[in-house]
């Protein structure tokens, strides 16, 4: 290191090399960009914040940091829930919020080219105007960015039928850990030239490269959906209904679960009276058109009933159906109003969903901890939300134990510690339990090859 950094202050040489027009070292500004929404994840104080408007500014920033051995942490909207966008001490944070253009929507080939700061819902709206649809829809879609979605391989409500972000990313323009600008992937419908580097980079949480442009696959507009609602006395009964739907060969366009704690939290905030007639709600959608769609909706309702639903119905009120799915997206912020939230993200095979839901309740009870569960139930992805009172150290310790035990059970049931939120810093201990040592070594080798000085988001993902 030829130009050292001392007392936590960046050298003038580093600052001089950063693009001045979009760089700040204001401590108050740096603090607001130092972490994502994972309040339990540690974060450091960055040396500087860069908010580029061009790829050239990104490249200049990475090259300067490479030269001076300074960590680089990329961030989108900061909606992550695993600490992946948290600053490390002495880093340069690059926020992509100003690179927010939808550059191209190709209606013939059905793809869009966007900058990483484009908001998910803004892309969906732009595509809808052209009669096209971008399916990945995380609950944070009104705020989260495509760059962040790519970094975490985000999923969402539609992924049970339509897949996750990785299924839609065709090509990426990237800046490597050495500051080189290049592209990976293709825009054609098919292509197998070389390794799938797009798939590798999608979900890598900014540890392998910085994404400066994204090409995503689009679909024709989704058919108007039919909503089916079921009320259950227990999460296990609801899990049995999900398993019954899968065994019947049905694939709903969405299948979401909210337990009583979530329903009560939403009611306290928005007064929707969801918990008046239900302990647990399952919300399903089918977008199969015509009589076949009606038959599919009735079959889903029958699966609800056969699994013990207190009631199940096909909604004939579009406004009511939209309100129910809007409530599902409000569940997380509603629970946040109850206290500090430590968010789980385990995913298990659908056949094991009832056992996983039972285990969550048992672990919560044994540790005397409030756990409110929402789930993308249709693909076995659970988000138990562990709630504590701020400042209560004993509650925090019990919550951390709950967090670790839920991951252990998910692994025992053949699942994974994270379905869509990523590893960040919160789940690094669980990663060593999930991945065999040879796989960990492969990942380390890939990291070293693409980021030889280890400046890209150090301390994240890899244990």
Phi-psi region of 85 (alpha: psi -120 to 50; beta: other; left: phi over 0): alpha
- Number of Cβ within a 10 Å radius of residue 446: 15
Q: Are 157 and 256 in contact (CB under 8 A)?
A: yes
pLDDT recorded at residue 12: 83
Task: Quote the Cα angle for 177-179-182, to 5°.
Answer: 95
Q: Tell me the DSSP string of 110-150.
A: TEEEE-TT-BHHHHHHHHHTTTEE-----TTTTT-BHHHHH
- Whether residues 142 and 183 fall in one domain: yes
* Interatomic CA distance for residues 354 and 270, integer angstroms: 29
One domain for residues 40 and 140:
no
Same domain, 231 and 214: no
Same domain, 25 and 75: yes
Buried b (16+ CB within 10 A) or exposed e, 288-317: beeeebeebbebbbbbbbebebeebebbee
pTM (2 decimals)?
Answer: 0.94
Q: Round to whole Å and give the CA distance between 95 and 23.
A: 10
Provide φ and ψ at 76, rounded to 5°: -100, -105
Q: For residue 64, which of 52, 76, 78, 75 has the smallest C-alpha distance? A: 52
**Position 215 in a domain:** yes
* pLDDT for residue 1: 32
* Residues 310, 209 share a domain: no
Query: DSSP assignment, residue 310?
Result: S
DSSP states of 332-392: HHHHHTTSEEEE---B--GGGHHHHHHHHHHHHHHTT-EEEEEEEGGGTEEEEEEEE-TT-
CATH number of the domain bearing residue 289 = 3.40.462.10
Q: Give the gyration radius of the chain's Cα atoms.
A: 22
Residue 359 lies in a domain: yes
Residues ≥6 apart with Cβ < 8 Å to 377? 238, 239, 242, 255, 256, 257, 282, 353
Assigned domain for 430 exists = no
1 domain-assigned: no
CA distance linking residue 415 with residue 351, whole number of Å:
11
- How wide is the angle at C-alpha 377 spanned by C-alphas 372 and 380, nearest 5°? 105
Residue where one domain finishes, among candidates 171, 202, 220: 220
**Is there a single domain that holds both residue 211 and residue 236?**
no
* One domain for residues 376 and 321: yes
Q: In this structure, are 372 and 237 located in the same domain?
A: yes
**Residue-level pLDDT at 285:** 97
Contacts of 346 (CB under 8 A, 6+ apart): 356, 381, 382, 384, 406, 407, 409, 410, 415, 416, 417, 418, 419
Domain end: 77, 97, 117, which one? 97
Domain membership of residue 446 (yes or no) is no
The answer to whether residue 420 is domain-embedded is: no
Q: What is the CATH number for 87?
A: 3.30.43.10
Report the C-alpha gap between 209 and 72 in whole angstroms: 10
User: What is the mean pLDDT, run by run of 10 residues, along the chain of 463 residues?
Assistant: 40 91 97 95 96 98 97 97 96 98 98 98 98 95 97 95 97 98 96 96 98 98 96 98 98 98 97 93 96 96 98 92 93 96 97 98 98 97 97 97 98 97 94 95 95 96 77
3-state secondary structure of 49: strand
- The CATH number of whichever domain residue 198 belongs to comes to 3.30.465.10
Return the pLDDT at 58: 98
Nearest to 90 by CA among 68, 67, 63: 68
Residue partners of 393: CB distance under 8 A and separation at least 6: none
Quote the domain boundaries for residue 244: 226-412
214 lies in the same domain as 240: no
For residue 11, the model assigns a pLDDT of 72
Rounded CA-CA distance 318/326 in Å is 12
Give the separation between CA 37 and CA 49, rounded to whole angstroms.
18
* Number of domains into which the chain is organized: 3
**Listed residue (312, 386, 368, 282) closest to 40, CA to CA:** 386
Based on the domain organization, do 265 and 361 belong to the same domain?
yes
**What is the Cα–Cα distance from 412 to 2, expressed in whole angstroms?**
49
User: How many Cα atoms occupy the beta-carbon half-sphere of 140 within 13 Å?
Assistant: 21
Same domain, 246 and 191: no
CA dihedral (450, 451, 456, 458) positive or negative: positive
pLDDT reported for residue 3 = 40
Phi-psi category of residue 315: left, alpha or beta, with phi > 0 → left and psi -120 to 50 → alpha: beta
Whether residue 48 is contained in a domain is answered as yes
Residues 230 and 205 in one domain: no
Angle at 120 between CA 136 and CA 416, to 5 degrees: 40
The dihedral formed by the CA atoms of 154, 157, 160 and 163, expressed in degrees to the nearest 10: -40
Q: Is residue 92 part of a domain?
A: yes
Q: Which of 97, 119, 144 is the last residue in one of the domains?
A: 97
Task: For residue 258, give every residue at least 6 positions away whose Cβ sits within 8 Å of its Cβ, in sequence order, or none.
Answer: 266, 274, 280, 281, 283, 327, 328, 331, 373, 374
């Amino acid at each position: 290191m030829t130009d050292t950094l001392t007392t936590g202050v960046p050298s003038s040489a580093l600052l001089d090399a950063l693009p001045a027009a979009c760089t700040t070292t204001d401590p108050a500004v740096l603090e607001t960009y130092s972490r994502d929404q994972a309040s339990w994840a540690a974060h450091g104080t960055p040396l500087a914040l860069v908010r580029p408007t061009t790829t050239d500014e990104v490249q200049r920033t990475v090259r300067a940091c490479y030269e001076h051995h300074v960590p680089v942490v990329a961030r989108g909207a900061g909606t992550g829930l695993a600490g992946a966008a948290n600053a490390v001490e002495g880093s340069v944070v690059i926020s992509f919020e100003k690179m927010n253009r939808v550059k191209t929507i190709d209606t013939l080939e059905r793809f869009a080219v966007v900058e990483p700061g484009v908001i998910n819902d803004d892309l969906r709206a732009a595509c809808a105007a052209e009669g096209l649809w971008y399916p990945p829809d995380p609950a944070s879609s009104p705020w989260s960015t495509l760059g962040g979605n790519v970094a975490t391989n985000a999923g969402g409500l539609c992924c049970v039928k339509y897949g996750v972000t990785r299924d839609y990313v065709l090509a990426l323009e990237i800046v490597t850990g050495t500051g080189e600008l290049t592209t990976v992937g293709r825009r054609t419908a098919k292509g197998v030239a070389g390794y799938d580097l797009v798939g590798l980079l999608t979900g890598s949480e900014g540890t392998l490269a910085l994404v400066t442009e994204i090409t995503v696959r689009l679909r024709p507009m989704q058919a108007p959906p039919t909503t089916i609602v079921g009320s259950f006395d227990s999460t296990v009964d609801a899990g049995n209904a999900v398993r019954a739907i899968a065994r019947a060969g049905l694939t709903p366009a969405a299948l979401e679960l909210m337990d009583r704690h979530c329903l009560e939290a939403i009611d306290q905030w928005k007064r929707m009276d969801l918990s008046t007639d239900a302990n647990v709600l399952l919300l399903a959608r089918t977008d199969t058109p015509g009589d076949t769609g009606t038959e599919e909706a009735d079959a889903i309702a029958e699966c609800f009933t056969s699994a013990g639903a207190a009631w199940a119905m096909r909604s004939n009120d579009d406004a009511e159906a939209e309100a129910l799915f809007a409530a599902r997206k409000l569940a997380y912020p509603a629970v946040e109003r109850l206290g500090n939230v430590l968010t789980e993200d385990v995913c298990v095979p659908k056949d094991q969903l009832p056992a996983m839901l039972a285990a969550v309740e048992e672990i919560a009870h044994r540790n005397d901890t409030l756990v409110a569960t929402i789930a993308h139930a249709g693909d076995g992805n659970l988000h138990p939300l562990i709630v504590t009172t701020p400042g209560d150290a004993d509650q925090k310790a019990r919550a951390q134990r709950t967090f670790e035990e839920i991951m252990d059970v998910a692994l025992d049931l053949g699942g994974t510690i994270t379905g869509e939120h990523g590893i960040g810093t919160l789940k690094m201990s669980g990663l060593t339990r999930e991945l065999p040592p040879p796989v960990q070594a492969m990942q380390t080798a890939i990291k070293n090859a693409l980021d030889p000085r280890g400046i890209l988001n150090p301390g994240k993902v890899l244990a």
